[in-house]
Amino acid sequence: MKYICTKCKKTEEITSIKAKCYCGGLWKLDFIPPKFDTKLIHKDTWGLFRYREFMPITSNYWEEISLGEGMTPIIQFDEDLMLKMDYFMPTLSFKDRGAAMLIAHCKSIGIQSVVQDSSGNAGNSIAAYCAKAKIECEIFVPEGTSPKKIKMIEAHNAKVNVVKGSRDNCADVCREKVDTEKKYYANHVYNPFFYEGTKTYIYEIYEQLNRIPKNIFVPLGNGTLFIGVIKGLEELLISGLIKDMPNIIAIQSEHCNPFAKAVLNKESIPSKVIPKPTIAEGIAIGVPMRGEEILEYIYKYNVEVIIAPEDKILEARHILAENGVYCEHTTAASYAAYLEYCKIKGKTSDSLISMCGAGLKSDH
């Protein structure tokens, strides 16, 4: 198993600490799992490492670092809509899927210290798994990040740097440190091990329902869940367990929508946007680093890209909460976008949305 550059195809050992290729391209992992088969699931493991036969696991360190992530329930919210409760996670967001896999990898190659930038949730996740793995951790977050997320990162003994300016600027400042100080960049966007964790989202849906719903709604900022969803579905397709891809509907913020604009203009790179403040902080990504790769998937699988209307997010959060589901604003944005989609397209049965982040994490 090696890293392969997405641009020049150069390969690199997975023990490398290089965050990307010399040419600037990001790494992909040349890992082909066996055909997905429920018989190969380790049913006595109560977490996402039950799918370890299909994950790039090279050691048993996952046992040491696991916090019981994954196996989140799916609930029937109403007649048409199912919610996958991914905030039922150790650090209250779906990012634990990727962080558990990535930090298990870091531990297996002897990494002792990492840095990472995040809108909050990925930082929470990396900090918690580093704490469990006894790896030193430093997280960069943009100003305006929910104070609760910052407190949580600090509680796991990670150092927090609050960076002035946008989420994109925060990533630039962190990457500068990676370059100049040769730090390990445990980043959810750059490091392909992360996606090998988020793809378990689809494995679980398949194992739980014994099928894949017709309409899968996914938030799309940097695309860590989106790419995981595509990977998982492609694996099910290759394994012959599904005949076609379902309808995939990606959700962007009305105030930060480089993919929605690119699709509208049939472009192959994300459009330049000037992000406006949004309460959907988790998807406020103006410069998604895997933009071209994501757009290739969007065109390949006819993914629809829709917008969460900013003025409908609080109302959507309220409806969910009134029905017992207390999620964070970025997650309510997905529901707001779903309601808008139904308004335009009509009743959309057999739909599934991820409840990515917990309500206690965001105050706006």
| DSSP line for 37-106 | -GGGS-TT--SGGGGGGGS---SSHHHHH--S-----EEE-SSSEEEE-TTSSTTSBTHHHHHHHHHHHH
Helices 95-108 and 121-133: angle between axes, nearest 10 degrees = 40
Helix-then-strand count for the chain, H and E = 12, 13
Binding mask 264-293 for Zn ion (x = CB under 5 A): ------------------------------
Binders of ligand PLP in range 323-342 (CB under 6 A): 328, 330-331
Q: Give min distance, CB of 272 to Zn ion, in A.
A: 24
Binding mask 115-154 for ligand PLP (x = CB under 6 A): ----x-xx--------------------------------
Q: Give min distance, CB of 22 to Zn ion, in A.
A: 6
Binding mask 14-43 for Zn ion (x = CB under 5 A): -------x-x-x------------------
Strand order in the sheet with 11-13: 11-13, 2-5, 27-29
For position 10 contacting Zn ion by CB under 5 A, the verdict is: yes
Nearer to Zn ion, 10 or 148 (CB): 10
The β-bridge relationship of strands 247-253 and 304-308 is parallel
For position 93 contacting ligand PLP by CB under 6 A, the verdict is: yes
Nearest CA-CA partner of 153 in 176, 119, 131, 123: 123
Nearer to ligand PLP, 215 or 224 (CB): 224
Q: Give min distance, CB of 349 to ligand PLP, in A.
A: 24
For position 282 contacting ligand PLP by CB under 6 A, the verdict is: yes
Which residues have CB under 8 Å from 72's CB, separation 6+? 84, 85, 86, 87, 88, 89, 204
Q: Give min distance, CB of 293 to Zn ion, in A.
A: 14
Binders of ligand PLP in range 171-230 (CB under 6 A): 219-226
* Binding interface with Zn ion (CB under 5 A): 5, 7-8, 10, 21, 23, 25
